[in-house]
């Protein structure tokens, strides 16, 4: 993808730059519990500050959908409370307007950025109001301001043109460095450029790396090219399976979605997770792989239990059975030892690997062995193979297991990665200027 990056702009000194970051970090009691995304944004921010830009940073935090919106949709728990007569929709909305700004403010992020950047970051208490405008006006070369949570305005997700104009304010350059939201056609990710409000639009270093590694591997992979797909449901990855099957040499299937494929082969899967409506689709993919000469690897043995662990990390009794002989009263929870060896062998022979989705219920120590085995196999080929982790649970698993430094690239956006794997055009990428 031939998009301009910050390094393609020769002079930033004195220029007013709006940067879309992904500071949607986990917090507890307004304390940041994982600052990975903040650290990931620093190279782009530091580069712009060192070049003398006047930088306005913006991001969302969580889903404060109840804030000042006429289109409030209550979650299931609140709907039940209203139905039971315990409260009213209006009371829930009013409470949210008081509580959510405190829980979902970006103030702690601004504080941490200021510490990391040597006091060069101010915090604006609003997004498009008087405090934001005043602090943007007061910026000196090499200084930054972080705006409050974009999603405190419903117009952000609705891609409202008026909101885009107010958010742009007087910025001359737009930089998108939030790959995790690049698949969203929101005001701050796409609209601000698509409406022609800011003409110069480039990517930051994070997105540049995502595109150079992931997009290039998809378009021109070193072979053999192996794709590993796991996770719960086939329905979540329909187009991913179809698109990547055309590009790869070997596709490995694990996780809950494997049982629909096994069912499509005529096997009984007991109480395992099953997408009944997607059995025919799985048959088609199996036939497609055979027709196109692709290897489609499915579990040959399965770790089963009598019930899903509750809580998810609770001790659980397991046994390993052949995948074509899962008992009627058991459910598959992980790939077995023979399958781990089979999948590891395919990985060890690869030159390029993309992995998205765990092999089992990896949150449970007893049911994490398949996911660990795949992560270990990827670590084993470090330096000899391009290994890409497509965000989400796979990224979390690799990081938790201590293998992050053994991977070529760990994507910062699970949803965006999946859409890229599907072959979709991401709005937050498509709107950026092409290199000349």
Choose the weakest-confidence range: 30-34, 66-70, 205-209, 316-320.
Answer: 66-70
CATH 3.40.50.1260 domain residues, the chain: 6-64+104-206, 213-422
Cα 296 to Cα 340: distance, rounded to the nearest angstrom: 15
Average pLDDT value over all residues in the chain: 92
Query: Which tokens is 243 given?
Result: 């698109």
Q: Which of 15, 37, 120, 271 is catalytic?
A: 37
Residue 274 has, within 13 A of its CA and on its CB side, a CA count of 14
**Does 415 participate in catalysis according to the annotation?**
yes
**Does 76 participate in catalysis according to the annotation?**
no
**Which pLDDT does position 188 carry in this prediction?**
98
| pLDDT higher than threshold 70 for residue 116 | yes
Mean per-residue pLDDT, 53-69:
81
Q: Which of 52, 142, 415, 423 is catalytic?
A: 415
Choose the weakest-confidence range: 27-36, 194-203, 243-252.
Answer: 27-36
**Does 20 participate in catalysis according to the annotation?**
no
> In the CATH scheme, what is the homologous superfamily, with its name and number, of domain 213-422?
Phosphoglycerate kinase, N-terminal domain (3.40.50.1260)
Cα 412 to Cα 258: distance, rounded to the nearest angstrom: 25
**Which pLDDT does position 69 carry in this prediction?**
53
Cα 22 to Cα 178: distance, rounded to the nearest angstrom: 5
| pLDDT higher than threshold 70 for residue 133 | yes
Q: Is the peptide bond before 232 cis (omega within 30 degrees of 0)?
A: no
Please report, rounded to a whole number, the percentage of residues in the chain having pLDDT higher than 70: 97
Region 6-64+104-206: CATH code: 3.40.50.1260
Q: Which of 89, 97, 158, 233 is catalytic?
A: 233
Q: CA–CA distance from 385 to each of 41, 217, 248, 380, 418 (Å)?
A: 27, 11, 14, 9, 21
Cα 239 to Cα 262: distance, rounded to the nearest angstrom: 19
- What's the whole-model pTM score? 0.83
**Does 392 participate in catalysis according to the annotation?**
yes
Q: Quick one: which of 228, 236, 230, 229 has its CA closest to 367?
A: 230
Q: Which of 390, 392, 414, 428 is catalytic?
A: 392
Angle formed by the axes of helices 392-400 and 414-422, nearest 10°: 130
| pLDDT higher than threshold 80 for residue 249 | yes
| pLDDT higher than threshold 60 for residue 398 | yes
Q: CA–CA distance from 116 to each of 28, 110, 294 (Å)?
A: 20, 10, 48
């Amino acid at each position: 993808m031939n998009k301009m990056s910050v390094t393609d702009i020769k002079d930033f000194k004195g220029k007013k730059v709006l940067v879309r970051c992904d500071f949607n970090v986990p917090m507890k009691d307004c304390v940041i519990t994982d600052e990975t995304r903040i650290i990931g944004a620093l190279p782009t921010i530091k580069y712009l500050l060192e070049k003398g830009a006047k930088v306005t940073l913006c991001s969302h935090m969580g889903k404060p959908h109840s804030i000042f919106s006429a289109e409030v949709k209550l979650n299931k728990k609140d709907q039940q409370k209203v139905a039971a007569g315990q409260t009213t929709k209006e009371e829930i909305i009013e409470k949210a307007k008081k509580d959510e700004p405190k829980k979902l403010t970006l103030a702690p992020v601004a504080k941490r950025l200021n510490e990391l950047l040597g006091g060069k970051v101010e915090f604006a208490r609003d997004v498009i109001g008087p405090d934001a405008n005043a602090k943007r006006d007061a910026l000196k070369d090499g200084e930054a301001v972080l705006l409050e949570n974009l999603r405190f305005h419903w117009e952000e997700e609705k891609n409202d043109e008026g909101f885009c104009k107010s958010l742009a304010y007087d910025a001359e350059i737009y930089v998108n460095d939030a790959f995790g939201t690049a698949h969203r056609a929101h005001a701050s990710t796409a609209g601000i450029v698509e409406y022609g409000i800011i003409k110069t639009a480039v990517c930051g270093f994070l997105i540049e790396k995502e595109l150079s590694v992931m997009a290039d591997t998809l378009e021109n992979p070193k072979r053999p090219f192996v794709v590993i797909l796991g996770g719960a449901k086939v329905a979540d990855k329909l187009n991913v399976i179809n698109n990547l099957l055309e590009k790869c040499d070997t596709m490995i299937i694990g996780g809950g979605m494997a049982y629909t494929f096994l069912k499509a082969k005529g096997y009984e899967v007991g109480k395992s997770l099953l997408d009944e409506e997607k059995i025919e689709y799985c048959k088609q993919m199996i036939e497609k792989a055979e027709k196109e000469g692709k290897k489609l690897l499915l579990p040959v043995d399965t770790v089963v239990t009598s019930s899903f662990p509750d809580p998810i990390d609770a001790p659980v009794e397991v046994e390993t059975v052949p995948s074509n002989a899962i008992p009627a009263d058991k459910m598959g929870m992980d790939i077995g030892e023979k399958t781990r060896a089979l999948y590891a062998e395919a990985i060890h022979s690869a030159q390029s690997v993309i992995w998205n989705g765990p092999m089992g219920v990896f949150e449970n120590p007893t049911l994490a062995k398949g996911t660990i085995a795949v992560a270990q196999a990827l670590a084993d080929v470090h330096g000899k193979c391009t290994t890409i982790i497509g965000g989400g649970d796979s990224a979390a698993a690799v990081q938790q297991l201590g293998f992050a430094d053994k991977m070529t690239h760990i994507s910062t956006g699970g949803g965006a990665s999946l859409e890229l794997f599907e072959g979709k055009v991401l709005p937050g990428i498509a709107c950026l200027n092409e290199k000349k």
